[in-house]
Every structure is written in C-alpha cells, then in structure tokens.
Amino acid sequence: MKLIILGGGFAGLRLANVLSNQKEIDITLIDRFNYHQFQPLFYQVATAALDASNISFPLRKAFQKSKNVRIRMGEVTGIDTVNKTVTTNEDVYTYDYLVIATGATTNFFGNKNLEQYAFPMKSTVEALQLRHKLIHNFEDALHTDDPATLQQLMNIVVVGGGPTGVELSGAIAELKKYVLPKDYPELDFSKMNIYLLEGTGKTLAAMSEQSSADSLLYLQKLGVTVMTNSLLDDYDGNTVTLKNGTTIHSSLVIWAAGIKGNVPAGIDASLIAKGNRIKVDRYNQVLNVPDVFAIGDIAYMEDEQFSNGHPQVAPVAVQQATLLAENLRRIQKGNELIAFRYKDKGAMATVGRNLAVVDVPKPKLHFGGFFAWLIWMGLHLMLILGVKNKFFVFTNWLYNYVTYDQSLRLIFKEFYRAPKK
C-alpha cells in the first residue's frame, strides 16, 4: 500500500507513528514545515515564556528508526483523485490511499483589514511575529511624547474568548504584573489595558458553566477587561471598532476568534462543509471519493452526538488517526471497517499562575485553581514530543515559577512583521 499523508500535525503525525514499521505499507508524509508544532503552547511562545524550539520537533527525527516512513517538505498545490496524484511545489507523488490531515488556519471571515493588520497565532512563526510586535510596541512607547499614541501602544486587544484568547490574555496580564515594569521602568503600566472581546455572553463557551464563570473571575483578578457580547466590526491598524459603535485605540490586535480548514486544491466544492471542512463518512473517508480520507480539524463528520461536526481539538485528531490506522490494516486484510466514535475525556484551559479550569465529562467533575493548573501542566508535558523538549519546557516553567521572569524577550528583525500600509 502506497500511502500519502498530508500534514504533520496531531492527526498526521499520530497516523504515521501508529503505522511506522508496518510491513507492506509505504508512507510519504508531506508538510510545508519540517517540524511538528505543539499548538496548545503557541501562546507561551508569543508571550516569551517558552522558546520556539521547545514546542517544535523535527519530523525526520521522529522517524529516524522507521523503515517505511519518508518525509517530504513542500506546499501542496493540487490533488488529482482520478489519477491518484498529489502535486507540490517540488514534485508529483502517486498514491494508493491518501489521507488529508492539513489542519486549520485563521478565519478572518472575509475582513481584509483584519487580515492585513491583526495578528493571528496558528503557527510557530506567527507566534514569534506576535512576540516581536508585543515587545516592539513598548520599545516604541519609550520614544513618544504624545499621550494618545502612548496609550494606543499600551492597549492590547485580544479577540475571541475561547481557550486561546483566555490563555493569551492571562499570559499578557502576568507579563504586565511581573515583568514589564522591571523591563521598562520609564513607562506607567497602570495605564496598560488588556481587552478580551467575546461575541457570546461568556468566556470558554464550549466548556461548563462553572469553567466559564471561573475563567471570567480569574481574568478579572489579573486585570483583564473582559467584554462579552462584543462583536468586532473593523480594525484599521490603529482603532478597533465594535458593532455597537464603541472604539478602542490599539496598535496590537490579536485574532483568536475563528479557524477554517486548510482544504488543498482539487477537492470538489460540493464536499466542503461549514468552516471550510471536508465532508467525510463515519470511517473518515471523503464522501464519494474512493481511497481518500480526511482526519483532524479538516474533517467534517456528522453523527448523532455531533450534528455540526466534531470539535476541532487535538484529542479528536488523535483518536481519528488511531482508528484510521486500524482501518487501513483492515483494508489490507479485506475486513470490515470500524466506524469512528469520539470518546470525550474532558477539556481544560489555563488562565495564569495557579489558575486553570478542567472539566471531566464522566464522571462529571470540575476542577479550578491550583489543582486544575497542575493537571493542565502534567498533561501538556506528557503530550509534548521528545524527552529533551519535555525537559526544557518543565525547566522553563519551574524557573519562571520561582523567578516570576523569563529571559526570552528578544526581537529578531528578520522575523518581525511590521504592519502593512
């Protein structure tokens, strides 16, 4: 079986790992990067709590001992499901079976101004760009005598009250409290405002009511201005305008309010569901397209439990990849396939030091505060690839916990993305 996997995220990497060294399966894993990115900790890279290398792991190193997995770096430019080929900017590959695991990217919902001026955070590079912009604003603040410009530079707006927005807002608030006043003693950080905008009536809307309430309490405790039922209308690089007419002057808007699937060219438009996801059946096979599967954030599967598709989170991707590996073996043997059913093991989010929320569905439990924070840290440490990465992440966390500081606030000019004019 000649198998091509598109994407080295949680889904693609898990599938390749499970099928590694399997006889009679030849795997080519294609990704535009040569490393796996641990997305749940992007916000810590963006706020200088972790180095980018701590949450990135070379794909080739992951398969050094594999006899059947080969890595190719490239941008997918087209899929031909009739002739069974995948075209990249580097080469053309043929397949017997194709697995699309290209994940998701930022969804600006067609707002060109947001796309131009707001900062997303869906890759390590974007997290670094955000870090550089965040720090550069305070450097610029030292050189202005205009109170309005100064306030604009010290206002930060985070859009989206899901886990990413909540975690990012909390991390920036801790920077304001513990680090920035020591780095920039010339600036008055009592004037720094961190706004979290959420279109619904609560933060962490996908979690339990208790988690939503706790997260709001924790954010307010840290000094974040949480604005629920607040929809962003536009942003011109200097001023945020809300649907209700309210304006906020800010030089930094962080967009964490939506994602959409990374659909490769060649997939029929009739197979694209809401959120730019590919429609699949209960076996993750793309509807009416033989020998092509989609797993993870890119896959849209309806069942009695999830009528609008599964949540776009890592556990879904990992479970779908694990089952697909078994089903590919079954295809080889001519056995009946097993339908996918998601086993929800819970959800969690951290807000800051000693502050987190954890929901467990069965038995129905909720944890908040320090104990939930320990659970959050332990699970994320286990999920990070590589012993060295686990060690450095833990060491950084321990150092930061003891010293209330980190020495990663560096601006690399070649990475810094200046606002487009």
**For the chain, what are the domain ranges?**
2-106+259-333, 119-257
Active-site residue set: 167
- Give the confidence band of 388 by pLDDT, cuts at 50, 70, 90: confident
Q: What is the largest CA-CA distance in the chain?
A: 74
Q: Report how far residue 2's alpha carbon sits from residue 94's, in angstroms, rounded to the nearest whole number.
A: 8
- Give the confidence band of 251 by pLDDT, cuts at 50, 70, 90: very high
Please tell me what DSSP assigns to residue 263: P
pLDDT of 192: 97
Sheet with 277-279, strands from edge to edge, namely 272-273, 277-279, 299-300
- Give the confidence band of 31 by pLDDT, cuts at 50, 70, 90: very high
- Give the confidence band of 226 by pLDDT, cuts at 50, 70, 90: very high
pLDDT of 362: 87
Q: What is the mean pLDDT of residues 113-124?
A: 94
Could you tell me the pTM of the whole model?
Answer: 0.92
- Give the confidence band of 420 by pLDDT, cuts at 50, 70, 90: low
Q: Report how far residue 115's alpha carbon sits from residue 242's, in angstroms, rounded to the nearest whole number.
A: 16
Check for a shared fold between 2-106+259-333 and 119-257.
yes
pLDDT of 410: 81
Q: What is the mean pLDDT of residues 199-212?
A: 95
Sheet with 365-368, strands from edge to edge, namely 347-352, 355-360, 365-368
Fold of the domain spanning 2-106+259-333 = FAD/NAD(P)-binding domain (3.50.50)
Whole-number mean pLDDT of the chain? 94
Length of the chain: 421
pLDDT of 417: 58
Would you say residue 341 has pLDDT above 70? yes
Q: Does domain 119-257 have CATH number 3.40.50.1580?
A: no
Would you say residue 397 has pLDDT above 70? yes
Would you say residue 118 has pLDDT above 60? yes
- The share of the chain scoring above pLDDT 70, in percent, equals 98
Contact status, residue 291 vs residue 275, Cβ threshold 8 Å? no
- Give the confidence band of 415 by pLDDT, cuts at 50, 70, 90: low
Q: What is the mean pLDDT of residues 310-330?
A: 96
Contact status, residue 317 vs residue 303, Cβ threshold 8 Å? no
Closest Cα to residue 128, out of 237, 31, 30, 49?
A: 49
